[in-house]
Structure 1
Amino acid sequence: MKSFLVYWGLVSMLGIVHVHALLKLSSWEIPIYISCLLVIVIMYFFYKKTFIQVSNLGIRMNGLLLVMQLLLLPIYIIIKPSFIYLIPFLLFIVIEIVRQEHTKKVAELLEEAKRFEEERAHFNETFRVVRSERHDFLKHVSAIHFMLEKEQNREAKAYLDDLVDGYKETNLSIKGEKGMVAGILHQMYRRAQEAGISVVYDLDLPLSTLPLSDKEIVTLIGNLLSNSLDACVEWQNEHNEQALLSLQFYKRSGLYLLICKNHSNPIPTSILDSLFETFGKTTKTGEHEGLGTKLIHDVIKEHHGFLDFVYKEEEFTVKIKIPAIR
C-alpha cells in the first residue's frame, strides 16, 4: 500500500511539471494551481480505471523508469517555451505505458506461478487419495465379507453406504478427466465441503474434452470455481444459510456449454459492467486483485468463445460457450 501511494504521488508531481510547462505555451498566464487541479482530476480517472501494482516490478526497474522520467525535466530549464516541450511530455506518457504493461505482465506471471503451485498440490493430493482408496479397497471388502458371514447385515449396509459416499466424492472429480483437471475439481469439491457449501457437478462429458490446453482448462475452471466458492462463503457468512454452487457442462450443436451458478451477495453495477474485461475488478471483499475474471475472459476470447453473466435474486450465473473446434 505504501509503494502504491508513493507511486501515485510521484507520478502526480511529475505530471504537474509537464502539464504546467505545456500550459506556458499559451498566451495566458496560467497559475500553477490550475495545473495541479488538472493533473489531480486526470490521476483520479486513471486511478479508478487502471490496474497497476508497482511493487511487482521491484525497486530496480521502478527506479530506472523514475530516473528516465527525471532526466526529461532539465529540458524545460534549458530550452525556452516551445512546441519541443511536447517531446518530454510524450516520452513521460510512453514510460508510464511501459510501466503499466510490464506491471500487468508480471502480475499475470506471478498469478500463473501461484496457480501452478496450487494445481500441483491439488494433483498430488488427488493422486494420494486415489492410491489410498485403492490400497484399502481389499481391506474394506474383507470387512464387509466378515460382517455378512456373521449375518451382521445392518452393520454391513451402513459400512458400505459410508464407503460408497467416500468413493462418490472422488469419482465425481476424476471420472474421465486428465490429471490436472481432476486435481482442481477434487480440490474445489473438498474445499466446498469443508466450508459447508453444497456443490453439484453435473457433467455430461469430461471437462478435459474442451478444445483447450490443459493449462487453459485449469485456468478457466480453477478461477471460475474459486471465485464462486469465495462468493458462497461470503453469502453464508451474511445469511447463516447453506450456499449452493453448481457446475454444468454439456455439448449442443457444435458448442461446449459451461454454466456455473452460485449464491452471491449483491454486486455493485460499476463492478458488473466490466467484471470480465479489465484487471482490478472483483466481487470479493478484502485485498483481492481481480485477476481471475480477466484470465477467464482471455481464455474464452483466445478460442472465439462467448461469455455471459447475470446476477439475479442473490444468484450469480456465468454461461460460457466455446466452439467445438480444435
Structure 2
Amino acid sequence: MTQYLVYFKTSIPPAWIAVVDIIIFGNTILGFIFLRKSVVLEEQDNLIRQQARHIQNLEEMIRNIRAQRHDFISHLQAVYGMLQMGKPESARAYLAEVTADIRILSQTLRLKQPEVAALIQQKAALAASRNISFGLIVESDLEKLAMRPYNLNRILGNLLDNAMEAVVFLATGDRYIRLEIGEDEQCYIISVSNSGPEIEEEIKEKIFETGFSTKGENRGLGLAIVREIVEHHGGQVRLTSQPTTFTVTLPKAG
C-alpha cells in the first residue's frame, strides 16, 4: 500500500495565529491555576488530617486522665484494705505502682505536643504490661520542635521498642527503661536508656546501618530510620554504654 504526503503552500492569516496564541496562552494560565488550586486543596486536606489527629490525641489524653481519676478511689480502698490486714509492705509496693502511673501522666502533660504525650503514655502502658519499669523525666515542653510530631514519634517509638526488646528477657526485677526529654539554648536532647546487656564496640559502628540486626533476619530497620530522620532534620544520634543509651539531639525551630 502506497502512502502519499501532499503539501499545500498556503498562508495563515495573522489574526488566526493571534487567536491560536491566545488560546495556548490561556490554556497554559488555566493549567497553572488548576495546578495551584490542587496544591492548595491538598495542603488543606493535610491540615485537616493533622488537626483530626491532634484532636484524637487530646481526647485520648483526656480519657487517660478520667480513667485514672475513676480508678483512684479503688486504689485507695485497696491500700486501706492492706493496711487493715497488717500488710504495710504490700501497701507500699502497691502505692509505688499507682504513683508511678500518676507521675508519668503528670510528666507528659507538660509537653506542648499532645501527639508525643499520647505515644509516651501508650509505650509506658505497654512496658507495664510486660513488667518493665518505665522511668520518665520531662524537663522541656518541646514548644519549638522543628519537625512534625509524627516524625518525633517515629524516633521515640523505635527507640522505646528497641529498649523494651533489649530487657524483656531479663528477670522481672531487672527490666528497666528510662526516657529523658531536656533541652539547652539551641537543641532538644532526648535519651532512651535500658538495663539490657552492653552492646559490643564492634557492633556500635554498624547498629545504625539498614538491615543490620542482632535479632535475626528481616530486622534492623528501626535504628536506621531513627538516624535518617534525625540527620534529615539537622540533628545527631549517638550510642553510649553502660547503661545502653541512645541520645538524640535536635535543633530548635528558628
TM superposition score category, shorter chain reference:
0.5 to 0.7
Q: Counterpart amino acid of 1:249?
A: I
Q: SS of the residue aligned with 1:260? A: strand
Q: Which residue does the alignment assign to 1:12?
A: none
Alpha-carbon distance between aligned partners in 2 of 1:165 and 1:241, rounded to the nearest angstrom: 16
Match runs of 1:69-84 below 5 Å: none
Alpha-carbon distance between aligned partners in 1 of 2:100 and 2:202, rounded to the nearest angstrom: 43
Normalised by the length of structure 2, the TM-score is: 0.60
Q: Which residue does the alignment assign to 1:130?
A: 65
Match runs of 1:1-326 below 5 Å: 123=57, 126-133=61-68, 136=70, 140=73, 166-207=101-142, 209-234=144-169, 236=170, 241-269=173-201, 271-276=203-208, 278-283=209-214, 285-286=215-216, 289-312=219-242, 315-326=243-254
Normalised by the length of structure 1, the TM-score is: 0.48
Alpha-carbon distance between aligned partners in 1 of 2:73 and 2:189, rounded to the nearest angstrom: 39
Alpha-carbon distance between aligned partners in 2 of 1:306 and 1:166, rounded to the nearest angstrom: 31
| CA pair 294-163 structure 1, distance change in 2 beyond 3 A | closer
Alpha-carbon distance between aligned partners in 2 of 1:325 and 1:207, rounded to the nearest angstrom: 10
Aligned CA RMSD, in angstroms, stands at: 3.7
Can you give the 5+ residue segments of structure 1 that lack an aligned partner in the other structure?
A: 1-118, 148-153
CA offsets per residue over residues 128-157 of structure 1, 9 Å max, x none? 3234345x38x949x99xx9xxxxxx88xx
Q: How many residues align?
A: 188
Alpha-carbon distance between aligned partners in 1 of 2:143 and 2:194, rounded to the nearest angstrom: 22
Structure with higher RCO (Cα < 8 A, 6+ apart):
2
Q: As a proportion of its length, which structure holds more helix?
A: 1
Can you give the 5+ residue segments of structure 2 that lack an aligned partner in the other structure?
A: 1-52, 85-90
CA offsets per residue over residues 140-182 of structure 1, 9 Å max, x none? 49x99xx9xxxxxx88xx8xx6875553343233433433212
Q: Which residue does the alignment assign to 1:56?
A: none
Q: Which residue does the alignment assign to 1:101?
A: none
Alpha-carbon distance between aligned partners in 1 of 2:115 and 2:126, rounded to the nearest angstrom: 16
Could you tell me whether the CA contact under 8 Å between 1:126 and 1:187 is conserved in 2? no
